[in-house]
Structure 1
């Protein structure tokens, strides 16, 4: 069964729509730059608002979230308007999530393996959630919902499997670039990434 949620925000909180830097083209025969340029992240790091502040790390966190839920359709995101790049990402469109639990679309992690940076807190959290902790927590969180079961066992198992793929990707980055380069303190200014 499919469903949707409508969110109304007060007029004092206007949203601004942004094109996701790792969005897909959706045109036959036309690849997005990130799909063929392995150094694409270097260009992103020089472009506001990704050249400083938390926005690039938010994109990395979003990629991990999208990979876990199987959402390969993140072409836009929102933020609060006129925030100067300081507000968090607001993820409103997760419609392609939890489709085929047998399909793990690695390209969702392109920002992760091309930039090879991650917040220390995100790294710690995903390591805490391995070994079935994620699926157990999800199962528990949804157990009292009136429409339980919301996700099938196959989807929960896919989340655990995809989490291990994320961890393997980050470990590969650490092996290549070192812990001090890959693991970024949560509040660190990102000017050192240029």
Structure 2
């Protein structure tokens, strides 16, 4: 838990430092601009072998610079994994959670995203041979890192498609299968800015 919060603080602190170093002759630099606040959501999809992951990820954020967004993202996920020849357990997991994110735009159509998360999970597990079932509740941290394609007009709207994986080794992560292999996570998102900027 301490590592998770340390990572979140480090991530947001680094974003703030980079934003301060950007050279911009704009006299409004450093001032809070309500037209830089955005709201959006993304659909999360992951699959591999006998597993499937589907989720919804609402987010709120702020465009700190032309090349940097930061904010908070929340998630609701459903994960299922069928029994196989090697494992007779069928999994059905429901999770919710969230965490901060940064989205770097090195060019106007390409972005890199880093997103630590803390998730609370309810797992229903059934042995398909013995027909016995159990339910477990636990929490898990994850660190999603990925790259994507999109369009973004500050003070108007944005949309993107991102491919990410969980780079932590936590076996309870909703983004890893029962063998602790990372599941590819596809997110397609869109959103709008709260106030239209000056034209």
- Which of the five TM-score ranges fits, normalised by the shorter chain? under 0.3
| Higher RCO (C-alpha 8 Å, min separation 6) | 1
TM-score scaled by length of structure 2: 0.20
More strand, by proportion: 2
More helix, by proportion: 1
TM-score scaled by length of structure 1: 0.20
Pair member with larger Rg: 2
